[in-house]
């Protein structure tokens, strides 16, 4: 029970997917589901023959000390699996189409971006000069933004992972969101105190935070 409490929602959902169990619900529901599956698996394990147990003991003899060092707890903290959305086949196909379109899209650069460094760092601006070679579509200039470069409309606005990107500024904004389809992005003006509350609330509801940051919880932030 304590092991599950210390795990994140994403890690709990990975265990549920491995056991072929539903991954929807709050963190407490996920933990209860895992405990029920463990109890049922223990009942099945008691019915295993003695011969199978002896075979496993022989296999354990070949376990080296190097393997013990490999399965260290520090190794598990290197990478944490990110939460994935539950998508239908049509949405997955549309996302792959959009990814292919993104690869073919050229870089839209401002006029004379190669001459002035400040222009290369800023976003797109449409050229408006009467004699602008970029506006006149000369081949030796970069292309302009046009409607034809638009992506597939069915998944427009979705995060690359497939989640619907929801902007939140307070913990109450998380109520009513679907953790299987929606992920949250915390506003840039939110302070660390409220941001920490949003992180905790999102973990309880099983929501993924797209722009999660490390917060050093000292003093009043604990």
Q: How do residues 91-142 score in pLDDT, each as one tens digit?
A: 999 999 999 999 999 999 999 999 999 998 888 999 999 999 999 999 999 9
Measured between its terminal Cα atoms, the distance across the chain in Å is 24
pLDDT at 118: 92
Same domain, 64 and 44: yes
pLDDT at 217: 81
Q: Is the pLDDT of residue 64 over 70?
A: no
- Number of compact structural domains in the chain: 3
pLDDT at 42: 62
Same domain, 60 and 27: yes
Percentage above 90 pLDDT, the chain: 54
Same domain, 183 and 216: yes
Same domain, 6 and 52: yes
Element at 79 (helix H, strand E) = none
Name beta bridge partners: 158: 164
Q: Which domain holds residue 210?
A: 163-221
Q: Is residue 84 part of a domain?
A: no
pLDDT band at 143, cuts 50/70/90?
very high
Q: Is residue 211 part of a domain?
A: yes
Q: Is the pLDDT of residue 57 over 70?
A: no
- Among residues 46, 76, 106, the one where a domain terminates is 76
Same domain, 7 and 71: yes
pTM: 0.60
Which parts of 71-189 fold into alpha helices (H)?
Answer: 73-76, 89-104, 117-121
- Among residues 48, 76, 104, the one where a domain terminates is 76
Same domain, 144 and 184: no
C-alpha distances (whole Å) from 42 to each of 37, 38, 39, 48 are 9, 6, 5, 10
Q: Is the pLDDT of residue 202 over 70?
A: yes
Q: Is residue 64 part of a domain?
A: yes
Same domain, 25 and 47: yes
Q: Is the pLDDT of residue 55 over 80?
A: no
Question: Can you list the positions of beta strands (E) in 40-186?
Answer: 164-168, 182-186
Q: Which residues have CB under 8 Å from 206's CB, separation 6+?
A: 9, 13, 24, 25, 26, 27, 30, 83, 179
């Amino acid at each position: 029970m304590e092991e599950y409490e210390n795990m994140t929602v994403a890690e709990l959902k990975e265990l549920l997917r491995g056991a072929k169990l539903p991954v929807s619900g709050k963190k407490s529901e996920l933990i209860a589901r895992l405990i029920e599956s463990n109890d049922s698996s223990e009942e099945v394990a008691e019915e295993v023959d003695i011969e199978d147990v002896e075979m496993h003991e022989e296999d354990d003899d070949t376990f080296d000390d190097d393997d013990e060092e490999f399965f260290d707890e520090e190794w598990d903290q290197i990478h944490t699996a990110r939460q994935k959305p539950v998508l239908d086949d049509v949405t997955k196909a549309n996302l792959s189409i959009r990814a292919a379109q993104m690869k073919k899209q050229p870089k839209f650069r401002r006029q004379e971006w190669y001459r002035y460094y400040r222009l290369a760092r800023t976003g797109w601006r449409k050229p408006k000069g009467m004699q602008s070679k970029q506006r006149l579509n000369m081949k030796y200039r970069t292309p302009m933004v046009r409607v034809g470069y638009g992506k597939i409309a069915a998944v427009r606005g979705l995060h690359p992972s497939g989640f619907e990107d929801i902007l939140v500024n307070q913990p109450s904004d998380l109520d009513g969101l679907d953790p299987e389809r929606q992920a949250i992005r915390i506003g840039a003006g939110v302070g660390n105190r409220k941001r920490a509350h949003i992180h905790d609330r999102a973990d309880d509801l099983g929501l993924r935070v797209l722009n999660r940051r490390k917060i050093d919880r000292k003093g009043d932030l604990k």
